[in-house]
Amino acid sequence: MAPGGWALGRLLLTVAVVVTLPTRPAGSWGTRIIGGHEVTPHSRPYVASVKFEGQHHCGGFLLRARWVVSAAHCFSHRDPRTGLVVLGAHVLRAPEPTQQVFGISAVIRHPDYQPATHANDICLLQLNRSAILGPAVGLLKLPRTGARPLKPGARCQVAGWGSVSDFEDQPPGLMEAEVRVLGLDICNSSWRGQLSPAMLCTQSGDHRRRGFCSADSGGPLVCRNRAHGLVSFSGLWCGDPKTPDVYTQVSAFVSWIWDVVRGPRPSPLPRTTESPQDSREPQQHWVYK
Ligand SMILES: *[C@@H]1O[C@H](CO)[C@@H](O)[C@H](O)[C@H]1NC(C)=O
Ligand SMILES: *[C@@H]1O[C@H](CO)[C@@H](O)[C@H](O)[C@H]1NC(C)=O
C-alpha cells in the first residue's frame, strides 16, 4: 500500500478503536499494575520481559543463568525464534545500561498444558547464552519441595510491566502489587468450578481492585522470596474480585522444572509452535493476561 493509503488505514483503525472503547468503570483511572506501585529499580532483579516485534508481551523470572520460567500460553501464537528476553530492566523502553538481551534457543512447554482449561500453563525458556548475574540481574528460587502449601491470606507480591489499567496504559517502570492468597475452593466457586488442581488464586484482601493485568502473564507471584505462582488468567476487568486472579501453582511443577533444566539438552525448536489445539479460543470470560 502507498504511504498515504497506509496512513488512512491506520487512521480508520484508530477511529474504530476509539468508537468501540467501553466507558471506563469508576476507579480505574490512575491505577497501577492494578492497585500497585512502581518498584525500587532492580529490587526484583529476576523479573524478565519477553518481547515480540519490539513490544513487551509477557513476563517471566530467571531461575538459572540460562533458564527463564514463564507461562505456556505466552507462546501459543508466537514463533519463539522471533522473541527476545530482556533482563536487568526497570524502564523497559529506555536504553538502560543494566539491560541484557537474549535470543530464545528453546521453549519447553509443559507436556500437559491444556489451552482450553489453562491447566499446566508453564514453560521454560532456554536463553541463547548465559545471563551475567549482578546487582540488576539475579535468580529467584522455586518453592521448597515438600513445603506446606501457602495458607489462604498469605501475603505475596506480583510484579510485571503489564498494563496499569483495563485500557492498556503503559507503566512508568516495573510495577508490583501486594495481594493475598485466596483459598482454591472459594476461587473455584467464583470461577464456576472451572479450575484445575495446580492453580493458585489471589485477591486484594480489601475492597480495592488489585492484581495483575494484560501483559503481566508469565510473571512471578513472589511469596516469602520464592516463586509460588506464574500469572495465568483472570476476568475481563483487571482486579475484579468476581473473577479472582489465577496463577499456575509453581510448587506442583518443581520436579518437572528440574528434570528439564538438569536433563539432556532440549531438541531444537520445531518449525512452528502452533498446533491445531492451540488455535482454539479460550471461553469468552477467561482472559489471558
Ligand atoms: C543471542 O540472540 C541475540 C538476539 O537475537 C543475538 O543478538 C546474539 O548474537 C545471540 N548470541 C549468541 C551467542 O548466539
Ligand atoms: C472445581 O470445582 C469443580 C466442580 O465442583 C470440580 O470438578 C473441580 O475438581 C474443582 N477444582 C478444584 C481445583 O478443586
pLDDT tens string 259-274: 999 987 556 665 554 4
- The atom of ligand 2 lying closest to the CA of 196 is 13
- Compute the distance between CA of residue 116 and CA of residue 187 in angstroms, rounded to an integer: 18
Q: What is the CATH number of the domain that holds 209?
A: 2.40.10.10
* Whether the Cβ atoms of residue 163 and residue 213 lie closer than 8 Å to each other: yes
Strand boundaries in the chain, DSSP class E: 37-38, 47-52, 55-64, 67-70, 83-87, 100-109, 123-127, 155-160, 175-182, 199-203, 220-223, 226-234, 245-249, 287-288
Unique residue bearing C-alpha cell 466457586: 189
> Atom 3, ligand 1: which residue's CA is nearest?
103
Q: Which of 99, 129, 132 to mutate to test the pocket of ligand 1 (most atoms within 8 A of CB)?
A: 129
145 and 247 housed in the same domain: yes
- Compute the distance between CA of residue 186 and CA of residue 23 in angstroms, rounded to an integer: 30
Task: Say what the pLDDT of residue 271 is.
Answer: 55
Q: Which ligand is nearest to the CA of 199?
A: 2
Give me the domain span that covers residue 65. 47-139+254-272
Q: Which ligand is nearest to the CA of 192?
A: 2
175 and 214 housed in the same domain: yes
244 and 166 housed in the same domain: yes
Average pLDDT over all residues of the chain: 84
Does residue 230 sit within a domain? yes
Q: Which residues contact 288 (CB under 8 A, 6 or more apart)?
A: 73, 118, 217, 232, 233, 282
34 and 154 housed in the same domain: yes
What letters, b where the CB count within 10 A reaches 16 and e where it falls short, cover 249-259?
bbbbbeebbee
**Which residues have CB under 6 Å of ligand 2?**
184, 188, 193, 195-197
Mean per-residue pLDDT, 37-52: 96
Does residue 280 sit within a domain? no
Number of domains in the chain: 2
Mean per-residue pLDDT, 108-132: 97
- 121 in helix, strand or coil? coil
83 and 158 housed in the same domain: no
* Residue 24 CA to ligand 1 centre (angstroms): 42
* Residue 105 CA to ligand 1 centre (angstroms): 9
Residue 277 DSSP symbol: G
* Whether the Cβ atoms of residue 141 and residue 227 lie closer than 8 Å to each other: yes
> Atom 2, ligand 2: which residue's CA is nearest?
193
Unique residue bearing C-alpha cell 516495573: 174
Does residue 206 sit within a domain? yes
Handedness of CA 276, 122, 45, 222 (dihedral sign): positive
Residue 10 has pLDDT above 60, yes or no: no
Q: Which pTM was predicted?
A: 0.82
Does residue 82 sit within a domain? yes
152 and 209 housed in the same domain: yes
